[in-house]
Amino acid sequence: MPSYTLAETRSEDRPRERLFEHGPAALTVIELIAIVLGTGTKHRDVVRVAEDLVAEVGGSLRELARRPPGFLSELDGVGSAKAAKISAALELARRLASESRGERMQVRSPGDVYRWCAPTVRDLAVEEFRLLALDSQNRIMREILVTRGILNSSLIHPREVFRAAIAEAAAGIIAVHNHPSGDPTPSADDRAVTGQLVQAGKVLDIPMHDHVIIGGDRYFSFAEAGLL
């Protein structure tokens, strides 16, 4: 028996038709996810699968964005192909948020760094270490992904960080990384990495103005805490 498709759901449960009739803003999160999924299972139509998926993450898109594709693929009615679609849709949303930030924003405070970076890193399932290359007026010239994975002092080498800064002719840098746990409190490795980068910046005359750790809706600034 084939899987239920969007076309085979009840007329009142056909989100694709509602999208064309009323626009995507009129649809619920469940309806939008159902469109991304495309098909249900032998025993449940796609809207019911979407309902179960949303219930699994407590109704939170933020929580859904934190879940890796491997986790999603194990959910009943999802599988690897649909998990890939969901992950791709969420990544497009992150990139849209990144494009919407504008160019050459001037950094005046750690809050500015959080507002710039949080939309793309706060919901990631793994840690990413990023570099903001600044011009002489503290405007962001470029955001550079340095490494992805567990952050420790052996993986983040000043050479890799400042190679990117030199390539961008940066007048200064700000280091940024996320804590998937949601707690931005710096670890011993975070402190060690920061110390290494500050010292390297002094030698190369490219000052590191801050290291901001983003954890969910909070952040920790080494500069603000007087730890640089």
Q: Check: CB of residue 49 under 8 Å from CB of residue 36.
A: no
φ, ψ of residue 205 in degrees (nearest 5): 60, 40
Element (H, E) at 50: helix 46-56
Q: Check: CB of residue 158 under 8 Å from CB of residue 206.
A: no
Q: Look at residue 1 in the predicted model and tell me its pLDDT.
A: 45
Each domain of the chain, given as residue ranges in start order, spans 6-98, 103-221
Residues 122-155 have pLDDT tens digits of 888 889 999 999 999 999 998 988 888 765 444 6
Ordered strands of the 140-148 beta sheet:
140-148, 128-134, 172-178, 208-215, 218-221
DSSP per-residue codes, 177-226:
EE-TTS-----HHHHHHHHHHHHHHHHHT--EEEEEEEETTEEEETTTTT
Give the N- to C-terminal CA distance of the chain in Å, as an integer: 63
Fold held by 103-221: Cytidine Deaminase; domain 2 (3.40.140)
Report pTM.
0.68
Mean per-residue pLDDT pooled into runs of 10, the chain (228 residues): 53 77 90 93 89 91 87 91 93 76 80 92 88 94 84 66 92 95 92 94 95 95 96
